[in-house]
């Protein structure tokens, strides 16, 4: 009987120890993987060995006309986030008297944003219901 109590206690102690170590490991991984939303305003650091990334072109209006209203709104906010990141990076580098490494990206983002507004406005004008058209125009002007 003494032996079963001893083995039972040892087993429970080992189980509790493994649970507590698993809990601390999970808490540590949560602390290290916690995402700071302000990091989205800065481009990821690249090492000196990394090649200069190739950035795409701006969206064409003909491509944007094929997308749905929701897709265009999502793309608008992705581009807005990209524009804010570029402007933050440019301002930070300007404060340090450093050169902005890729100034050609800013006009591409602005053109794409203007074209999204153009396509959404075209859709609002073509809308036969005047109330819905006015609502769409208000939403577009709020962008």
- Band (11; pLDDT cuts 50, 70, 90): very low
Query: 7 is written with which tokens?
Result: 């083995």
- Give the whole-angstrom CA distance, residue 24 versus residue 37: 24
Please name the helix (run of DSSP H) or strand (run of DSSP E) that holds residue 108, with its range, or none. helix 105-126
Q: Return the DSSP state at 45.
A: P
Task: List pLDDT tens digits, range 46-77.
Answer: 555 566 667 788 999 999 999 999 999 999 99
Task: List pLDDT tens digits, range 94-136.
Answer: 999 998 888 899 999 999 999 999 999 999 999 899 899 999 8
78 pLDDT more than 90 = yes
């Amino acid at each position: 009987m003494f032996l079963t109590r001893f083995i039972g206690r040892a087993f429970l102690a080992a189980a509790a120890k493994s649970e507590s170590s698993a809990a601390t490991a999970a808490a540590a991984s949560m602390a290290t993987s916690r995402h700071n939303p302000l990091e989205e305003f800065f481009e990821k650091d690249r090492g000196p060995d990394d090649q200069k990334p190739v950035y795409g072109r701006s969206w064409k209006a003909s491509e944007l006309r094929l997308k749905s209203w929701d897709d265009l709104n999502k793309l608008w906010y992705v581009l807005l986030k990209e524009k804010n990141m570029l402007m933050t990076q440019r301002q930070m580098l300007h404060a340090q008297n450093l050169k902005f490494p890729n100034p050609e990206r800013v006009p591409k983002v602005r053109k794409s944003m203007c074209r999204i507004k153009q396509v959404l406005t075209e859709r609002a004008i073509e809308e036969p219901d005047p109330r819905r058209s006015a609502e769409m125009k208000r939403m577009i002007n709020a962008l």
